Amino acid sequence: GYVAYSGTSMATPFTAGVVALMQAAAVQSVATVKANLASAVQDWGTAGADIDYGTGRLQAYEAIRQQGGFSGTNVATPRHFAVSESLAGQGFSDWYALSVTTTSYPIGIGVIIPGASASKNFELYLYDPSGYLVRSSATTKRQEQIGYKPKMTGTFWIRIQSHAGSGNYHLDASAGASGLVLSTNQ
């Protein structure tokens, strides 16, 4: 069976495995390995290293390619969208239109409330092009996450709603999509 984990508990072994593959491609100094790792990171969230995204998403293929001096192109991945917005208060919602163009990739959505306190609680919902609620995440944590394998293409709708409090949030969405547009801003 499989188990899903996230955070540094999974990032650390993944990065260690990438370093082992890098060294198998070409043994280099620790400084060179660090430089190749750093240059192969796609920064997400607030610019630079932060508590929510670390230094970003490690592009393993690119790190190994650089280390070994290889040529080639990475495998295709879903498109990533990142937005920072805010909600005015309890009951307010922001709506986003996600234009899904292929069902080859899952839709992954995350909302993070930076520096959240117990007075803030934002919930996350995903609706398919027919308007049906297909996934939701309504915990009391400062991060909400949804994963969904689309069965159709078209405009999916993402709703972020304040259950309590007001303030900023970061929205990340990955999908086989052509765009993400804020359609209702509260």
**Number of neighbouring beta carbons within 10 Å of residue 123:** 18
Rounded CA-CA distance 60/19 in Å is: 9
Mean pLDDT of the region 8-25: 90
Rounded CA-CA distance 174/80 in Å is: 4
**Of 2-6, 39-43, 152-156, which range is least confident?**
2-6
| Three-class SS state of 137 | strand
Q: What is the mean pLDDT of the chain?
A: 91
The region, left, alpha or beta by phi > 0 then psi within -120 to 50, assigned to residue 131 is left
Mean pLDDT of the region 1-17: 81
Band (178; pLDDT cuts 50, 70, 90): very high
In the chain, the percentage of residues whose pLDDT exceeds 70 is 98
Is the Cα torsion angle 87, 164, 167, 145 positive or negative in sign? negative
Regarding pTM above 0.85, the answer is no
Is residue 8 over pLDDT 80? Answer: no
pLDDT, one tens digit per residue, over 91-119 is 999 999 999 999 999 999 999 988 766 68
Is residue 7 over pLDDT 80? Answer: no
Phi, psi of 17 (to 5 degrees): -65, -40
pLDDT, one tens digit per residue, over 128-167 is 999 999 999 998 888 899 999 999 999 999 999 999 999 9
Q: Per the structure block, which two tokens stand in for 38?
A: 């750093």
| Three-class SS state of 93 | strand
